[in-house]
Chains A and B, each alone.
Chain A
Amino acid sequence: MATTATFLAPTGFSIHGWSAKTKVGRGRRPCSIKSQQQQQQLEKEQDQQPTQSQTSIPPQQQEKARVQQQPSPQPMAKSKNMSREYGGQWLSCCTRHVRIYAAYIDPVTHAFDQTQMDKLTLILDPTDEFVWTPDACQMVYACFQELVDHYEGAPLSEYTLRLIGSDVEHYIRKLLYDGEIKYNMNSRVLNFSMGKPRVKFNSSQIQNV
């Protein structure tokens, strides 16, 4: 908790988790994404299947670290439409280090807006099993972005979110074995879920102890 708080404090993030979100109008790819999205939205509506309403994974994501370059996060977002009769589907994938929701979760107020199902929110390591540096977070974010781009057009279902979540978890384990992140020795539950620390592993210093 202490480590994430110091990281997050300058930009005013919340304490509990590190949420990676990107806004639509990122500096690098301004207009082409929007037209793609409109096309995706049209495709979404045309491809509605009668048995199961499926929407394709849109290219939008949300990223929190680039808040300065992007339109402000939605301060008026409130938790709404969470129950099933309002259409909230609670599409999510939750494993120990990766939680992906198909909703907009406000980083400050934790408002869970289920109507915005065109956004995917990634909450990274809420239990703080690892020590996260900003670079490592950026790498995980880049991997997440790549995966979502790869899965564009797939039906928006828990199955696809679980595939994405599992790929992100494998990527986090790769970061651990390469030494980019390490176990947090002050975590509440220290059970080395991604492998016990080993001596002379890949001939580089990986985990302390």
Chain B
Amino acid sequence: MQQDRLSDWLVNHDLVHRSLGFDCRGIETLQIKTEDWDSIAVISYVYGYNYLRSQCAYDVAPGGFLASVYHLTRIQYGIAKPEEVCIKVFAPRNNPRIPSVFWIWRSADFQERESYDMLGISYDNHPRLKRILMPESWIGWPLRKDYITPNFYEIQDAH
């Protein structure tokens, strides 16, 4: 089937990945290891995925991993339903570092900054990785499951 194509291609080329099945819209999901992500990102760009539709990140479980998710698709003239793939990279919580794909797909610029700001995943080789939503002097990673909101008066009680 069309959806399995990337997975088969990777297997044919002996690249380690783990298929996570299909999500509700039928998009195949792969899990890639952090150290392989650099090369596989380039490979998928060469394979034809020239558009990073979105990059997001989430906290898998308290004390567990942080996941960075990439939706890739292929923008091409004349194709109504382009191939899509969803790639997840899991980073350990104590040292979450993932290679940045900024130099491959430019749209990762702000989106990786947001993942950094909210979850603390630092992206290597990102040219300007700094907080984008929270004030620059904020301490802590707000969207982690173990984050505790500081007891600021104006958030809780001010009229």
Contact = CB atoms under 8 A, between A and B. Distances in A.
A193 interface: yes
A194 to B, nearest CB: 8
Interface string B126-153: 0000100001111100000000001111
B46 interface: no
A179 B79 CA distance: 73
A11 interface: no
Given A52-B136, A158-B135, A159-B138, A166 B153 contact: yes
B136 A166 contact: no
B137 A157 contact: yes
Contact of B154 (A51, A95, A160, A173): A95
Interface residues of B, number: 14
A183 to B, nearest CB: 13
A52 B138 CA distance: 12
B158 interface: yes
Interface string A141-178: 00000000000000101111011011001100100000
B13 interface: no
Given A191-B159, A193-B159, A166 B137 contact: no
Contacts of B154: 95, 166
A191 B158 CA distance: 11
A170 B158 CA distance: 11
Query: Considering the complex of A and B, which 6 residue pairs feature the smallest CB-CB distances, nearest first?
Result: A157-B137, A193-B159, A169-B153, A166-B153, A159-B137, A166-B152
Interface of A: 51-52, 95-96, 155, 157-160, 162-163, 165-166, 169-170, 173, 191, 193-194
Given A95-B158, A96-B158, 14 more contacts: A52-B137, A95-B154, A96-B159, A157-B137, A159-B139, A162-B152, A166-B150, A166-B154, A169-B157, A170-B151, A170-B153, A173-B157, A193-B158, A194-B157
